[in-house]
Structures are given as structure tokens and as C-alpha cells.
Structure 1
Amino acid sequence: MEVVDEKVLIVEGTSDKRKVKDIISEPVEIICTNGTISLTKMDELIDSLFDRDVYILVDADEAGEKLRKQFKREFPEAGHLYIDRMYKEVAAAPEYHLASVLIGANIDVHKQYLGKRMN
């Protein structure tokens, strides 16, 4: 039987996926929407993610908010993770910031990304 990661993180692009993948220290499936997602694709995705912990991590921009609204409407069970608006993009956010956002969702991260906050 295939082992399926219980946690799923949905991001917009491949650069977001690469950045987040380096920070996470547990098996999490990371899915890229590559921006917008059709209703058909959304329905397929929701069906495939039934019974799993799903988190949405999108950019703090117009496209990201549009995608987030779509997920809230079509997949209300998913958790939503937010980056600080000053970073605008997941790929542009510092690792320590993403690590603290992920920890907040009970996703394990590599320790070196914690506590590197520059005040």
C-alpha cells in the first residue's frame, strides 16, 4: 500500500515549493497550483485530499488572495497560513518567517530556521 503524507501544503509556484521544502523537516506533500486553478482541477484536488490535513500558503498579493478565496469557498476544511504582507511573496519571505508560520500549523521545521529574527 502506498504511504501518503498526512499533511499537504498548497502553494502557488515552484519557487514557493522549493523554498518551503527546504524548511520543512517532516514528510509533507507540497502541491503547486501554478497560479490560478480551474474548478475541475480544484474538484479533483479536493477529492484526492479527503481525510488529510491541508494548508494553503499563498502570496500576499491580488492573485494569492483570489486563490485563497477560491479555496475558502470550495475547500473550507483547509487551514490557511499567512505570510506578512510586507514580504508579498512566499518565495521572498525570509526562512525564519516561513518557519514560524509553518510551526504555527504544527508542521515540523529544521531547527536552523528558527530564531534567526533580525530586529
Structure 2
Amino acid sequence: MDKIIIVEGTSDKRKVKDIVREPVGIICTNGTIGIAKLDDLIEDLFEKDVYILVDADTSGEKIRKLFRKELPEAEHIFINKMYREVAAAPDQHIASVLLQANIDIHPKFLDMRMN
């Protein structure tokens, strides 16, 4: 898989997995990530398209900051702050932000966006 999406938790992973149509790897940080784990992870992410999709809260911002420093080429995908959590955001919102990042989504979510 050439595309990897980094999320915080397993509920985020399930939501994204249900929406994404193309084969992508989805990696959970489990809320936090240490430098040692990040270093190991970065080796596995070499030459892949990496997307960061984390919650719009303090924990998510800490994760984003780490990735900006250690993996500056990663693309950051943002949810609307009113939802706060990826898992709490409506499916069509997640589908929309993924589509904007050129990640293929299931057609049923395209139909939902049009309504």
C-alpha cells in the first residue's frame, strides 16, 4: 500500500476504513505517540504517501506537531473543529475531507455529499 492514514484510535480507524475505497494502510497512534515509536514508524513510512487525520483537540495537535517535525512531507487532513473527534464526525464530513486529499471513497458517500 502506497498510502497510509495515521489516526488516533480504533474507532477512528473503523470509521475511515468504512469510508475509504482504495487500499490504504490505517495506523493508530492510540492517542499518543512517543519518539521511539515514531522513529520506528517513520522507517516503515519511507516513500509512502502519509496522511495525518487526528482529532481537533489538544492530543491531536500534539500528534500533528510531532509529525510536522519528524515527517514534514506528510499531508495533514483536518476535520471541522465543531466535531472535535474523527469518530464523532458525520461520515459524509470525513468522506469530504478524505476526497479533498485525493483519497478515493466509496460511491455511497459521494451520493450523501450531493444531498
Match of 2:53 among 28, 53, 57: 57
Query: Residue deviations 1:34-81, cap 9 Å, x none?
Result: 011110110111111100000000000111111111111111010000
Please name the residue that 1:41 is paired with. Answer: 37
Helix, strand or coil at the partner of 1:16:
helix
TM-score (norm 2): 0.95
- Separation of aligned partners in 1, 2:69 and 2:111: 35
Give unpaired runs (5+ residues) of structure 2.
Answer: none
- Where structure 1 has 5 or more consecutive residues not aligned to the other structure, the ranges are none
Alpha-carbon distance in structure 2 between the residues aligned to 1:105 and 1:117: 16
Moved over 2 A (4+): 114-119
2:4–2:25 Cα contact (<8 Å) kept? yes
**1:7-86, aligned counterparts within 5 Å?**
7-86=3-82
**Structure 1 partner of 2:106:** 110
Aligned length: 115
Task: Work out whether residues 9 and 57 of structure 1, in 8 Å CA contact, stay in contact via their aligned partners in 2.
Answer: yes
Percent identity among equivalent residues? 65
Structure 1 CA distance for aligned equivalents of residues 114 and 82 of structure 2: 15
Q: Distance in 2 between matches of 1:12 and 1:38?
A: 13
Letter in 2 for 1:55: Y
| Contact persistence 2:96–2:113 (CA under 8 A) | no
